[in-house]
Copies of this chain bind each other. A is one copy, B any other.
Amino acid sequence: MSPIPLVVVGTVAYDTIRTPRGEVREALGGSATYFSLAAALFTRVGLVAAVGVDFQARDRQLLIDRGVDVAGLQTYPGESFRWVGEYHGALDEAHTLETRLNVLTQFDPVLPPAYRAPEILFLAAIDPELQLRVLDQLERRPRLVACDTRDFWIEHTRPALLRVLERVDCVLINEGEARLLAGEHNVVKAAQAIRRGGSFDLIIKRGGYGALLFRDDSVFAIPAYPLEDVVDTTGAGDSFAGGFLGALLREPTRIRKALVLGNVVASFTVEDFSVRRLTALAWPEVWHRYLEFRDVVRLEDL
């Protein structure tokens, strides 16, 4: 059994989503789903998440067909995690209508043997206590450990979250979460405050406005790829993380290029509901948009 180079621990969900562009019911979603489908464009990725007995065989097959290793998918008695949400206007903010945690309340992530020495580990936004338990199962320190979190964990489990931050190399959070975590409106000051808690790179995701990377003493800023067709922004952040870490696995020294590729992969995700666009995505499309993106941000000479 060859070791899996990139591992994600997060959620698999069935989402019901309403946006100005339509609606889907019980569609495949969850942070680990979006992340692994995006990362699979670049490398072999192993997924650790909890599903219920209602998890569809065709969804498992869809992951496998896209090159995702599902040995880490743990089936629990009960129903899979459900999320119901809606978006308005420019789809920049999800409004949660209903959350049914279901099997998520039993989730105790276990890394299968082939997952215990990855080059890169991504801890998607789950309970920081679970994130810590995953870190304790590693056989050796990965080249890079990255994590995400959510408002809920910042507000309710801050001490555990801060222990996670001490043990990671890269934190990816959105702008609102960064402000909440730092207690500071200005995004640069917020980044400085957050980074005092560790020695990690910090990536702040700004949705339709791009992303910021704080590394050492430098800042890297990219706008989002200008999209005219935004259908459903669910999973954009996790696709971004998957594309970013997948690209970084292939070219470890090219962090800016990896961020742009993450950005590009996320730009496809939001063009259709659920994982539809992502599961139909071919590498040449990613590369073509990457080249377009370079034109969009290209500066003239001095």
Contact = CB atoms under 8 A, between A and B. Distances in A.
Contact of A297 (B229, B257, B295, B297): B297
Contacts of A209: 206, 209-210, 223
A192 B228 contact: yes
Contacts of A302: 291, 294
Interface string A211-244: 0100000111111101111100000000000000
Contact of A210 (B192, B223, B298): B223
A210 B209 CA distance: 8
Contacts of A20: 185
A87 B212 CA distance: 24
A189 interface: yes
A57 interface: no
A230 B186 contact: yes
A90 B299 contact: no
Contact of A227 (B188, B291, B300): B188
Given A206-B209, A209-B206, A223-B210, A189 B299 contact: no
Interface in A178-199: 179, 185-189, 192
Contacts of A230: 186
A296 interface: yes
A30 B296 CA distance: 33
A250 interface: no
A92 to B, nearest CB: 9
A185 B90 contact: yes
A14 to B, nearest CB: 27
B296 A219 contact: yes
- Residue with the highest number of chain B CB atoms closer than 10 Å, among A185, A218, A226: A226
Interface string A164-186: 00000000000000010000011
Nearest to A290: B302
A199 B148 CA distance: 44
Interface string A88-131: 01110000000000000000000000000000000000000000
A259 B245 CA distance: 32
B188 A226 contact: yes
Interface in A57-91: 89-91
Interface of A: 20, 89-91, 179, 185-189, 192, 206, 208-210, 212, 218-224, 226-230, 254, 256-257, 260, 291, 294-300, 302
